[in-house]
Structure 1
Amino acid sequence: MVEKPTPGRRSFLKAIGAGTLFGGLSGVASATPGRQPGPKKDEILVGVSASAADMDQAVAQAVPGNAEIVHRNETLSYVAVKFPSQAADRAKENFIDAITKKDHIKYAEPNTTHEALYEPSDPRFGDQYAPKQVESDQAWDTTLGDSGVTIAVVDTGAQYDHPDLQANYKSNPGRDFADNDSDPYPDAPSSEYHGTHVSGCAAAVVDNGTGVAGQSNSSLINGRALDESGSGSTSDIADAIEWAADQGADIINLSLGGGGYTSTMKNAVSYATDNGSLVIAAAGNNGSSSVSYPAAYSECMAISAVDDNEQLASFSQYGENVELCAPGVDVLSTTTEARGSYETLSGTSMATPVTSGVAGLTLAQWDLTNQELRSHLKNTAEDIGLSANEQGSGQVDALAAVTTDPADGGGGGGGGGGGGGETTSGSVDGSLSGYWDGDNYTWSWTYSSPSQVVVELDGPADADFDLYVNTGTTQNASPNNYDYTSRSTNSQETVTIDTPDDSTAMQINVDSYSGSGNYTLTITETQ
């Protein structure tokens, strides 16, 4: 149960803000004309608290004369400030230092660059092995998928009129965030093919007598956030994630990485998760023992890559954040017709959409929330004998996911998830009076060795509340002492913890960054 051991009021002060969060039709405002696609290394992203009266005004007071606000996202509550290309790094650092001391400013960070996660392939295979290895071909005896399930590919542009993709792409195939227009088609099809390959891994049309088969006949949409060079900015990707969630995407595929932790991207994947999307992301390709961002955010399912012998790919990153693995070496899929329509590529970029396609196939059979789908894919994964850091719960298994009733649970895999799939939840209502205020709670575990816990905060729209969590300690969580946090620019916060440390009760802190009002705190624990 959720317990409140003490009033838990904070004893220190922080900046005050006041106002409201603005929302438009999509939440993404138009960029200033002339803003270039792709990486935006001269920009600083500034997060503004939802309690600010005017987002632009809160930032403009600290913008130097040689810089300007060039972009804004009202839903994620940030603006992009562009400096001249010749501006010294020190000038940007001084701006970050100065503006983060201002009222209403939640964070300031460089608009980092992310890249498509693929590697050059070996000579082409004459056959597909991925659908067989994850048993999609056997699952097709039950379902080929459902066009009512939507997979959003946030990537380079995709050739949505490809003969083996067109039937699964929606009539409105997506949006271009790199060039800021309504058409996500590749600008340079001979070099911009990654998004087309990823689309085919997930949902090249099954059983149409043409080319290859993806994992499911789910509907596809494409948010073009990476340009023809295969790279793109944090802001473009975050905007595309928000857009995909607003389109009702059941699954958002992120075959990209780089740039490290950023609050802007964290807020984007939190927004998507809170709005019902399952975000599936590539673990990374540098072979290291930690997972890249955005896969490392707790909201994302991190996917490692294995080969056709079910061994960890030499390039695949691994670590405790990995939740599933999938085929990612020499994967045959669609490519742009300018490149010959089909080709073989390797990378966690390929393993990720294989998983997304299986997730889509699963939703064709079972009515699941995003968190239930995440647990079900892990509960039904196949243990292929790798360590938990390499395979997570195991290799995604389409047949088991489609034929196992989620109410009955699954066998689980090699660690990092699994269990019977039973859940229990509790909630408590509270209120905070202002920026000086905070409440502490504890959660006593219901299950022995829980597989996952989700902590959700639903607070007032005109305030900015944050969430902090500690596990494995009796120390209260706080803004200065936490293991996990969700600090968006509004009061809708979610923390997801896989295989939490249950040696002590979980410590939870609800904190007012600015504003006041009522909130509901909900904890859901999965066995």
Structure 2
Amino acid sequence: MTQDGTPDLNRRRFLQATGAVGLAGALGGVASATPGRSPGPKEDEILVGVAQGDDSPADVVKKAVPGKARIVHENKTLSYVAVKFPSQAADVARENFIEAVTKNDRVKYAEKNATLSTSLSPNDPRYGDQYAPQMVNADTAWDTTLGSSSVTIAVVDTGVQYDHPDLAGSFGSNPGYDFVDDDGDPYPDVLADEYHGTHVAGIAGGVTDNGTGTSGISNSTLISGRALDESGRGSTADIADAVEWAADQGADVINLSLGGGGYTSTMKNAVSYATNNGALVVAAAGNNGTSSVSYPAAYSECLAVSSLDPDGSLASYSQYGSSIELAAPGSNVLATLPTDDYGELSGTSMATPVVAGVAGLTLAQWDVDNVTLRDHLKNTAVDIGLSSSQQGSGRVDAANAVETDPANGGGGDGGDGGDDGGSGGSTSASVTDSLTNSADSKCWTYAFEYSNPSTVVISLDGPSYADFDLYANDGTGTCPSTSSYDYRSWTTTSQESITIDNPDTSADLSILVDSYSGSGSYTLEIVEYE
């Protein structure tokens, strides 16, 4: 791959096409929550994302904050601040602030601090034994591995009763962080009222084969990021901070059994950050039964999970749509509850940790990156006769995932990540170049190596004191712009990544690297999975 248009690198053609002028926006990482912030929803706040630079996000925003409002939170890694308005302030005051602050060239977005909630649906009374592990063939997978404490699953949810007899063995000496109360103890404030996170944790990682209670899917290490309050609701900022924190803790899998609030740049950037740092983010499709998947599951970075009834049919409450990637049992799932109890709950909230647990089992057996893991889970899923919008690639299957070597195709079109001595399931190319200022951008084209790749990942590693963004088109043969594109990654930093499943190879992949602000060198990398 060369700048002057000559082929090639690693058997690929990767050409610079044209320079262009561009614009874009998004965000980036965690300072701790600000003391004194109330738990739960924060509907009086506006989140403002700032392009990375020499000064802090708060310094950029503070001049635009009106007299009765104040900056109450700053996340320097994700590069955003929360601006709180008095509760009696009219909506027009917030709208005027959004309009004013976004006129600053450094501000990439301003949006409401939306409220998300647990993806739990009402369930029938307790009726008997577990069925979820058996439905996904975890009991067969356990003949090979029960899981490994070297694999970490983060539960971003309500608090978890981490000293529950069936969970204590899964948590280490530092069980997590409480983003609701801003302290180092993610334990529920009131055990009787706050049970969702404990149930989710028990499904994914309740200790198996310990002679106590129920069996979780995998014996992974669990960490808890308490981001939802006793009502099961929480702000975008708290959840985004918890996702970033989980990634910084080295979580291999992050479970998001929550949804609502619609698309926000803050949450998009949080799951992008986690994905770019090697975590697989698994999220609940939502519970209103409609044909569109809720956010955060609908973000391309998240593996969206629909819910099945015990008979294998799609649960009536489960949302579905083109974003669904896997299905899992989610109705009447028996797992841990406070206090030292067990019970059945239903929802895509329950299906999601089944997939997270299977991901944990898989990582205990196979050392693969998060892109290969995602592909492998889909390639080894079982077609249960539902439409792709209802089941995605199928029902997740632990035995297939554990017993099938990803290097041999993962039961389908999977690859091996390219660096672990596999059988050629991936290939990569890269180029290093530079942008000179915020009016500079460059377009590159890339010729696919595989005729039908399962996934292509585009990564940008740019300067730390600038804000570069990434755009891509597939199947068009035309260069994207900052206003017309098929895919984009536009956080407030210069670390960007785009993942395209089943890319259209009828034309070369076109990629635009744009400077939103600043200058410097960057490396652009393409990894193509067979």
Residue 3 (structure 1) aligned to one of 14, 19, 34 = 14
Q: Is the 8 A contact 1:29 1:74 kept in 2?
A: no
Q: Report SS of the residue matched to 1:7.
A: strand
Mean CA deviation greater in 283-292 or 508-517: 283-292
| Equivalent residue, structure 2, for 1:176 | 178
Alignment of 1:154-165 (within 5 A): 154-165=156-167
**Closer, same or farther: CA 472–114 of 1 in aligned 2, 3 Å:** same
Residue 504 (structure 2) aligned to one of 495, 501, 523 = 501
Q: Is the 8 A contact 2:205 2:218 kept in 1?
A: yes
Q: Report SS of the residue matched to 1:488.
A: coil
| Equivalent residue, structure 2, for 1:383 | 383
| Equivalent residue, structure 1, for 2:463 | 460
Alignment of 1:231-380 (within 5 A): 231-337=233-339, 341-380=341-380
User: Take 1:258 and 1:204, find their aligned partners in 2: how far apart are those partners?
Assistant: 27
| Equivalent residue, structure 2, for 1:393 | 393
Unaligned runs of 5+ residues in structure 1 are: 16-20, 413-417
User: Take 1:496 and 1:139, find their aligned partners in 2: how far apart are those partners?
Assistant: 29
Q: Is the 8 A contact 2:118 2:232 kept in 1?
A: yes
Question: Is 1:430 equivalent to 2:439 in the alignment?
Answer: no
| Equivalent residue, structure 2, for 1:478 | 481
Question: In the TM superposition, what is the alpha-carbon distance from 1:393 to its structure 2 partner?
Answer: 1.2
| Equivalent residue, structure 2, for 1:415 | none
Q: Which amino acid aligns with 1:277?
A: A
Question: Is 1:188 equivalent to 2:199 in the alignment?
Answer: no
Alignment of 1:439-450 (within 5 A): 439-450=442-453
Structure 1 runs of 4+ with >6 Å offset: 12-15
| Equivalent residue, structure 2, for 1:522 | 525
User: Take 2:84 and 2:271, find their aligned partners in 1: how far apart are those partners?
Assistant: 24
**Closer, same or farther: CA 143–22 of 1 in aligned 2, 3 Å:** closer
| Equivalent residue, structure 2, for 1:18 | none
Question: In the TM superposition, what is the alpha-carbon distance from 1:453 to its structure 2 partner?
Answer: 1.3
Question: In the TM superposition, what is the alpha-carbon distance from 1:14 to its structure 2 partner?
Answer: 8.9
User: Take 2:452 and 2:318, find their aligned partners in 1: how far apart are those partners?
Assistant: 28
TM-score, reference length from structure 2? 0.93
User: Take 1:206 and 1:481, find their aligned partners in 2: how far apart are those partners?
Assistant: 50
Q: Which amino acid aligns with 2:14?
A: E
Output one character per residue of 1:403-446: Cα deviation in whole Å (capped at 9) or x when no partner.
Answer: 1111111334xxxxx45662222111111010000011122222
| Equivalent residue, structure 2, for 1:101 | 103
| Equivalent residue, structure 1, for 2:419 | none
Q: Is the 8 A contact 1:14 1:436 kept in 2?
A: no
Mean CA deviation greater in 445-454 or 517-526: 445-454
User: Take 2:87 and 2:255, find their aligned partners in 1: how far apart are those partners?
Assistant: 32
Q: Is the 8 A contact 2:376 2:414 kept in 1?
A: no
**Closer, same or farther: CA 14–450 of 1 in aligned 2, 3 Å:** closer
TM-score, reference length from structure 1? 0.94
Question: In the TM superposition, what is the alpha-carbon distance from 1:499 to its structure 2 partner?
Answer: 1.8
Q: Is the 8 A contact 1:58 1:103 kept in 2?
A: no
Q: Report SS of the residue matched to 1:286.
A: coil
Q: Report SS of the residue matched to 2:19.
A: coil
Unaligned runs of 5+ residues in structure 2 are: 1-11, 417-424
Q: Report SS of the residue matched to 2:78.
A: coil
Q: Is the 8 A contact 1:2 1:428 kept in 2?
A: no
User: Take 2:16 and 2:457, find their aligned partners in 1: how far apart are those partners?
Assistant: 20
Alignment of 1:82-231 (within 5 A): 82-231=84-233
User: Take 1:34 and 1:246, find their aligned partners in 2: how far apart are those partners?
Assistant: 24
TM-align CA RMSD:
1.7
Q: Is the 8 A contact 1:52 1:104 kept in 2?
A: no
Q: Is the 8 A contact 2:335 2:343 kept in 1?
A: yes
Q: Which amino acid aligns with 1:504?
A: A
User: Take 1:251 and 1:34, find their aligned partners in 2: how far apart are those partners?
Assistant: 30
Question: In the TM superposition, what is the alpha-carbon distance from 1:28 to its structure 2 partner?
Answer: 1.6
Q: Which amino acid aligns with 2:440?
A: D
Count residues with an aligned counterpart: 510
Q: Report SS of the residue matched to 2:246.
A: helix
Question: In the TM superposition, what is the alpha-carbon distance from 1:183 to its structure 2 partner?
Answer: 0.9
Q: Which amino acid aligns with 2:377?
A: L
Identity of aligned residues (%): 64
Output one character per residue of 1:346-384: Cα deviation in whole Å (capped at 9) or x when no partner.
Answer: 111011000001111111111111111111111111111
| Equivalent residue, structure 1, for 2:410 | 410
Question: In the TM superposition, what is the alpha-carbon distance from 1:52 to its structure 2 partner?
Answer: 4.7
Q: Which amino acid aligns with 2:512?
A: N
User: Take 2:121 and 2:24, find their aligned partners in 1: how far apart are those partners?
Assistant: 46
Q: Is the 8 A contact 2:462 2:523 kept in 1?
A: yes
Q: Report SS of the residue matched to 1:167.
A: helix
User: Take 2:71 and 2:312, find their aligned partners in 1: how far apart are those partners?
Assistant: 49
Question: In the TM superposition, what is the alpha-carbon distance from 1:104 to its structure 2 partner?
Answer: 1.2
Question: In the TM superposition, what is the alpha-carbon distance from 1:504 to its structure 2 partner?
Answer: 2.2
